[in-house]
Structure 1
Amino acid sequence: MANVTFQQNPVTLIGQEIKVGDSAPDFTALSNDLKEVSLKDYQGKVKLISVVPSIDTGVCALQTKRFNEEAEKNGNVKVLTVSMDLPFAQDRWVKKHDINKLDTLSDHRDADFGEKYGVLIKELRLLARSIFVVDSNDKVTYTEYVKEVSDHPDYDAALEAAKKAN
């Protein structure tokens, strides 16, 4: 498993670590209008899945804004931001910050995404900051489990991986 810390303290991630070449696990999460969404809803598209602990915090907000800005530059790439925030909070934040080129998904109900992608922090019931790029055939082509949850991911590497998967 990935060694991840939160404020420099080790945390336990629940689930199996996803590796490049794996089939992306299907998952269910909630859209901002409380509809159940799964990976299958994005079938045939390249997916850049940006995982944040809470969208309404500094690094998470910057991460979401950055990927929103990049979203339309990458053709067939669909950007998803997944967090444990309630759908209502995500919706409010998205509207306040004019985020309209990516989908925000809430894993709060079942933590299904968190467990299947190995990013659910046991001690906090938050998701560890991570990035997954999944090609149009649902194969994982890039992963990053950010070592310190409060650090930024490697944006350039993730975006390059999404371009290559396109």
Structure 2
Amino acid sequence: MQVTVEGKSVSLVGNPPEIGTQLPKFKLWDKDDQKVKTANLLGTLTLISVVPDINTSVCTMQTRKFNQQADHFPGAHFITVSTNTIAEQAGWCAAQGVQNLDVLSDADESFGYAMELLIPDTGTLARSVWIVDANGQIVYRQIVPEEVDEPNYLDALNELEKLTSRVDDN
């Protein structure tokens, strides 16, 4: 699959998983340098916001937007994933006051390869938004075609709203 970065076409390491498939196995690292595996994300509805570099303006806007929205969805877990180091992410979170979501590091590119979102030329991930149900099935995906563009927040949040209301109805 290809996306563009400032209009220049770049290839991902493969084709990211489709809606209806299981979240692949990967590992990420949290702010305490603890391993977070795919299995740790099961059991609750999860929105995964993927950003290329937490220290850039569009990635900052994306992460702050989802951080602001997390309170409106108490039945969902919000995470942001980037290839930035734990130290870079911790500094960014402290400066931005991000506390409503988990920021996880894919510095070793396990998530990027498993989800086939890694851009090997830059060592970053393709900007995307994923929603995964409690069983680990991908129920929403949005891969942003141009890396410097923001995702369609409203589309992702509307889907999350539908999914959380279904969970609440059960």
TM-score by length of 2: 0.93
Match of 1:85 in 2: 84
Match of 1:76 in 2: 75
Distance 2:160 2:148 in 1: 23
Distance 2:145 2:62 in 1: 16
* Alignment length (residue pairs): 164
Unaligned residue ranges in structure 1 (runs of 5+): none
Distance 2:97 2:38 in 1: 24
Q: How do 1:102-117 residues align onto structure 2 when only pairs under 5 Å count?
A: 102-109=101-108, 111-117=109-115
Distance 2:8 2:42 in 1: 37
Distance 1:48 1:151 in 2: 19
**SS of residue paired to 2:136:** coil
Moved more, 17-26 or 84-93: 17-26
Match of 1:134 in 2: 132
Stretches of 4+ aligned residues off by more than 6 angstroms? none
Match of 1:6 in 2: 5
TM-score by length of 1: 0.95
Q: How do 1:1-80 residues align onto structure 2 when only pairs under 5 Å count?
A: 1=1, 3-80=2-79
Amino acid in structure 2 at the alignment position of 1:34: D
Match of 1:157 in 2: 155
Q: Is the 8 A contact 1:134 1:165 kept in 2?
A: no
Distance 2:143 2:121 in 1: 17
Cα drift, residue 137 of structure 1: 1.3
Q: Is the 8 A contact 1:15 1:116 kept in 2?
A: no
Amino acid in structure 2 at the alignment position of 1:30: W
**SS of residue paired to 2:24:** coil
Percent identity, aligned pairs only, is 35
**SS of residue paired to 2:49:** strand
- Structure 1 72/39 Cα, relative in aligned 2: closer, same or farther at 3 Å? farther
Match of 1:119 in 2: 117
Cα drift, residue 19 of structure 1: 0.8
Cα drift, residue 39 of structure 1: 2.3
